[in-house]
Amino acid sequence: RGAAGTAPDLVGRHVVVSAGGTREPLDPVRFLGNRSSGKQGYALARVAAARGARVTLVSANSALPDPAGVDVVRVGSALELREAVTKAAGDADAVVMAAAVADFRPAVYATGKIKKKDDQEPEPLTLVRNPDILAEISASRPRPGQIVAGFAAETDEALAHGRAKLATKGCDLLVVNEVGESKTFGAEENEAVVLGADGSETPVPYGPKEMLAETVWDLIAERLPELPE
């Protein structure tokens, strides 16, 4: 196969993709969020479906429309995303964590709207760590031979940080983007290097997010165990 033609090389596979950015609620009307648009994750889901996979897309707060032929599970917070991804990963051949997951969430959720009080400084915001979903899935591998991939946006020494992160997370592939300028957030195009736990390094030139998605699925497809006859 190649970027021009799509061979159905993911027929018979179930793949899970997370996309978008989590929102960590403070109260019923406020959250801590990030700028992820979901475009890269949606491109991964569309390309996997075009290559014949059954696709579960766990989408965190993306404004993008549901891609045709994809099962979309909508979530808000990191804990919701973890629950949905963990459930879908149970029988998945591959899991790709493209979502921007908040590292921290407010320690306390106020069930009523937080009100300001005159002559009183605001309370400091206390945060707690969210679970590392990519590391958890990589460690548990609910299905034998399952391939797990993550994304990392780094501002400097991207490859060195990426190598270290790949090892810490225990995943098979890590897509490393150098961030800055108009790159990555909300952009239509992306440039990256895909690092493999086997030492491989696959550069992907600046181009549409579909092109990066095709490369990610190429690398996953060649690592998947053969389908039973």
Which residues make up each annotated binding site? 103, 113, 131-134, 151, 165, 169
First to last CA, the chain: 22
Confirm whether 34 is a catalytic residue. yes
Whole-angstrom distance, CA of residue 154 vs CA of residue 11:
34
Minimum distance between the CB of residue 107 and ligand CTP, rounded to whole angstroms? 16
Using rule CB under 6 A, residue 97 touches ligand CTP:
yes
Using rule CB under 6 A, residue 57 touches ligand CTP:
no
Q: Select which of 34, 61, 177, 190 is catalytic.
A: 34
Count CB atoms within 10 A of the CB of residue 170. 17
- From residue 189, alpha-carbon distances to 50, 132, 214, 220 in Å are 19, 27, 13, 21
Using rule CB under 5 A, residue 188 touches Ca ion:
no
Beta strands in the chain (DSSP E): 14-20, 24-27, 30-32, 54-60, 71-75, 94-97, 104-106, 127-129, 147-154, 173-178, 189-196, 201-208
Using rule CB under 6 A, residue 60 touches ligand CTP:
no
Binding mask 158-197 for ligand CTP (x = CB under 6 A): -------x--------------------------------
Minimum distance between the CB of residue 7 and Ca ion, rounded to whole angstroms? 35
Residues that bind Ca ion (CB under 5 A): 103
Residues annotated as catalytic (active site), given as ranges: 34
